[in-house]
Structure 1
Amino acid sequence: MNYQTFQPHPDLASLVNCYWILEVPAENDSQKQRIIPDGCIEMAFILGDDIKRFTSEDEFILQPRSMVLGQITEPFYIQPTGYVNTFAIRFYPYGFANFVTIPIKSLADKETPIELLFGEKTTKALEQKIIQAADTSQRIEIIESFLLAKLNDKTTIDNIVKTTIDALLLTKGSASINTILKEDLSKRRQLERKFTKQIGISPKQLGKVIRLQSALKMLLNKKTENLTNIAYESEYYDQAHFIKDFKEFTGINPKEFLDNENMTLSSLFYK
């Protein structure tokens, strides 16, 4: 398995978290992998064999070859049909809204073909360039040219949204929205509207995802295996609160997560 991340051009660094690639040899009995929320929106190009995304225990769809995966609010399963070769762009929560005109909320919990966002002609040309690129470095150049062209002018990220996200990231999701906004309820209503439009989920949901990310990294990096300590370090009210949020976003409890072969891919992304 080959998973690597790459940093974006400085002009895109406020919007794009990273580029990543994943290559996995074909296996005869590949396991389903549970994908869990991470608070980000991703654009992905499937360069290998098709990937199934399960809509129920036994039913599935094939993910589009080029797609945008919106905000995830609940876990789902994917399964490769053969060789995995994916190139993807991971946007910050507020990043992708700067490149499209449709409401970000409409992208949540599903894969949207890129051609529905940027048009068939533009998408076909981009796909061919990505497929024919000699290596990852060239693919990054191609996608950065595409994204920079979409921006046209330097984008100013809406201040109230960015300030809130920065505070959530700085406090690992533990800061309350009222504290960030200094109890100004009119600002809170404004923030809720802007979050729905630009991020696709509420500020409270994003805070929960960011806090869970912090706890997951501690768990996966074996900084401590004591769940009470993890709950305390991640500023949960208590262990029960931590386990409740963990199960909400992953579908299983923390100890099951560590030993679950369906979590290999999610574990890789979080380490």
Structure 2
Amino acid sequence: MDYQTFQPSADLAPFIKCYWTLDSPREATPQVQTIVPDGCMEMIFHYGDLYHQYIDGKAVVQPRSCVFGQLTQPLKIEPTGITGIFSVRFHHDGFVPFASIPIKEMDDKAVPLEKLFGITGTELEENVFYASTVQEKIDFVEAFLLERLNTETIDRIVQSTVDLLLKVNGQISVHELSAQTNINRRQLERRFSSAIGLSPKQLSKTIRLQATLKHLLNKEYTSLTTLAHESEYYDQAHFIKDFKEFTGLTPKEFYGDNLQMSFLFYGKGS
């Protein structure tokens, strides 16, 4: 697999983490992979063969182009042939200025661009599909997004709270977040739901787990018990519970191909 990342223009950098492409030189043996929630939404274009995603154990073909909402649980996907993907990876609250439907309604869904943007979404899909270079794909996407940028939907309180969560790797309680932002918990939850599609607690747990996964990937730990302690989980049981909630597996079961695939799709360009 050939994975590459590309940076957005300065105008869109506040909203987009990166663009990325994934290509396989030949048809791979179908293998189910686990994608772990990371709190970021993606606009995905398949210029290769489509992927299956598993919903309630049943394989469903992903749209040719779509925006994938927030993942609240592990996502299982499987290639159907030769992989060719171009994706826009948004910051945690980066998609809301372009959204045409409530962010929360997109959780765990691959929403086709046509449903989100009508005929202009279909035209964008065709332009990206037939573009001969990655830069052309980026240019089409950036022109499309800049036309739809609605800065009135940006929530500065949510932005600063997300920055704090990232700074402390999610190791902070919602009570402390509420105190530091001077916003009561219920209002903070409403604002997060509207801007991100997750509650502050969900995003905090996601960010903490992603930080833990990076330690696993880089082998920056002496034991899983030590890793759980350093990540400030209450105890080993709490660590395993959260880990299984977001990956579907225990830490020992997950370490290996699933971890590599998780970071291939979601752990880079951050």
Does TM-score exceed 0.5, indicating one fold? Answer: yes
Query: How far 1:181 moved relative to its partner?
Result: 2.4
Q: 1:263 to 1:222 in 2, by over 3 A?
A: closer
Deviation at 1:262, TM superposition (A): 4.8
CA distance, structure 2, for counterparts of residue 18 and residue 113 of structure 1: 21
Structure 1 residue aligned with 2:261? 265
Root mean square deviation, CA, Å: 1.9
> What CA distance in whole angstroms lies between the structure 2 residues aligned with 1:100 and 1:183?
28
Aligned to 1:25: 25
Unaligned runs of 5+ in 1: none
Deviation at 1:94, TM superposition (A): 0.9
CA pair 222-134 structure 1, distance change in 2 beyond 3 A: same
* Structure 2 partner of 1:8: 8
Could you say what secondary structure the match of 1:54 adopts?
A: strand
- The one-character-per-residue Cα deviations of 1:1-23 (angstroms, maximum 9, x if unpaired) are 11111111111111111111111
For residues 201-236 of structure 1, what are the alpha-carbon distances to aligned partners after superposition, in whole Å with 9 as ceiling and x for unaligned? 111000000000000000011112511222222222
Query: Aligned partner of 2:22: which letter?
Result: L
Name whichever of 166-175 and 3-12 sits farther off.
Answer: 3-12
Retained in 1: the 8 A contact 2:107–2:197? yes
2:164 match: secondary structure? helix
Check the 8 A contact 2:96/2:154 in 1, yes or no.
no
Q: Is the contact made by 1:37 and 1:71 (CA closer than 8 Å) also made in structure 2?
A: yes
Aligned-partner Cα distance in 1 for 2:247–2:255:
12
Q: Is the 8 A contact 2:96 2:153 kept in 1?
A: no
**What TM-score does the superposition give when structure 1 sets the normalisation length?**
0.92
Trace 1:17-166 onto structure 2 (pairs within 5 A).
17-27=17-27, 29-57=29-57, 59-119=58-118, 121-151=119-149, 157-166=154-163
Asked if structure 1 preserves the Cα contact closer than 8 Å seen for 2:38 and 2:210, the reply is yes
SS in structure 2 opposite 1:175? Answer: coil
Q: Distance in 1 between matches of 2:188 and 2:29?
A: 46
Whole-angstrom CA distance in 2 between matches of 1:177 and 1:66? 35
Measure, in 2, the Cα distance between the counterparts of 1:74 and 1:33.
Answer: 14
> What letter matches 2:186 in structure 1?
R
Aligned-pair identity (%): 51
The structure 2 residue matched to 1:213, chosen from 210, 214, 217, is 210
- What amino acid is aligned across from residue 159 of structure 2 in structure 1? K
Alignment CA distance shift 1:9-1:222 (3 Å): same
Q: Is the 8 A contact 2:43 2:88 kept in 1?
A: yes
Aligned length: 267
**Residue 217 of structure 1 aligns to which amino acid in structure 2?**
K
TM-score, scaled to structure 2: 0.92
Take 1:137 and 1:234, find their aligned partners in 2: how far apart are those partners?
39
